């Protein structure tokens, strides 16, 4: 009886060691996409009123957790029975991410005329502000869903030869880290100014060390937010380009002489603008039909 119990404990310890090793490997494989995920989601989670930043971020985090709950079992089933479906889903997600990145670039180069006519947050009613928040939250959760699919599939690929139990544990750990880790860092970024203000008010001394750090954080936040918009756009194109490069052999073989990051960026950029042109043409055609 006792020997059986200790044997069980030994099996559990061995399993946990294997899980730790495989999780480390999967973490390395997904590190790049997690970095892109952070940049994209930090940019998506910014631009709200100070008092609404954390509630909005919490809403996005809950949506991200729900995404993982939906994606994980579906990924395990598809990987086991219909592996080609995984590739199709990834490419469709890549098209959306490339389109979103290209749209951001297009709007920067050719800003919409009505943008300057938009009222500021102070001029909007509480209902209008909440409505805009919901739109941005939905957009952030949708983008998170596509990035989560990529993270889960990459992590799953590192343990594809392992038993199902090992796959479930390792990929679930990576998925949890992708949510808690990413959105925890995002929360720190969007609250930089609040933390800086508290450091400034920490003591009554003028120009103390805490004052200098506090002012640095407060002054740096606008630049961080602006840079996140640029980094997030580049990340969208890199992630989408990586999906196309890794899953469509023609692109991978045709451009293998170029550096992989350049290939991924160019693929995301070109395909993104092709999708953007297709969507814009479709919208014009729909408007002409309705007219």
Domain count, the chain: 1
What does the pLDDT read at residue 274?
Answer: 95
Within-domain flag for 5: no
pTM of the model: 0.67
Within-domain flag for 235: yes
The distance from CA 202 to its chain's CA centroid, rounded to whole angstroms, is 35
Within-domain flag for 39: yes
- Output the DSSP codes for 43-100: HHT-SS-GGGHHHHHHHHHHHHHHHHHHHHHHHHHHHHH-HHHHHHHHHHHHHHHHHH
Give the model confidence (pLDDT) of 20-31 as tens digits. 555 554 555 555
Tell whether the model's pLDDT for residue 149 goes beyond 70.
yes
Average of per-residue pLDDT across 268-287: 92
Within-domain flag for 115: yes
Give the C-alpha separation, 289 to 45, whole Å.
37
Within-domain flag for 172: yes
Within-domain flag for 8: no
Lowest pLDDT segment from 16-20, 204-208, 278-282: 16-20
Give the model confidence (pLDDT) of 112-127 as tens digits. 654 444 545 555 666 7
Within-domain flag for 6: no
Range of the domain at 246: 13-290
Within-domain flag for 2: no
- The most confident of the ranges 31-35, 252-256, 273-277 is 273-277
């Amino acid at each position: 009886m006792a020997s059986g119990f200790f044997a069980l404990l030994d099996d559990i310890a061995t399993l946990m060691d294997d899980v730790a090793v495989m999780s480390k490997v999967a973490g390395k494989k997904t590190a790049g996409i997690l970095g892109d995920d952070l940049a994209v989601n930090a940019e998506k989670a910014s631009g709200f009123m100070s008092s609404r930043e954390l509630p909005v971020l919490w809403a996005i985090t809950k949506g991200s957790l729900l995404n993982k709950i939906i994606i994980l079992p579906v990924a395990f089933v598809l990987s086991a029975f219909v592996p080609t479906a995984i590739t199709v889903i990834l490419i469709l997600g890549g098209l959306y991410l490339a389109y979103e990145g290209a749209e951001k670039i297009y709007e920067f180069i050719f800003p919409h005329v009505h943008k300057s006519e938009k009222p500021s947050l102070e001029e909007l009613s509480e209902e209008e502000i909440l409505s805009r928040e919901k739109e941005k939250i939905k957009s952030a959760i949708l983008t998170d869903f596509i990035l989560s699919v990529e993270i889960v599939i990459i992590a799953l690929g590192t343990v594809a030869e392992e038993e199902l139990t090992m796959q479930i544990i390792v990929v679930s750990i990576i998925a949890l880290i992708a949510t808690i880790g990413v959105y925890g860092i995002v929360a720190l970024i969007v609250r930089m100014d609040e933390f800086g203000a508290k450091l400034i008010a920490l003591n009554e001394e003028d120009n103390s060390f805490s004052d200098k750090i506090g002012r640095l954080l407060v002054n740096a936040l606008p630049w961080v937010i602006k840079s996140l918009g640029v980094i997030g756009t580049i990340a969208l194109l890199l992630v989408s380009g990586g999906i196309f490069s890794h899953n469509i052999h023609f692109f991978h073989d045709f451009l293998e002489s170029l550096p992989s990051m350049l290939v991924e960026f160019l693929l995301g950029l070109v395909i993104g603008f092709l999708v953007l042109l297709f969507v814009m043409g479709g919208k014009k055609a729909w408007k002409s039909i309705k007219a």
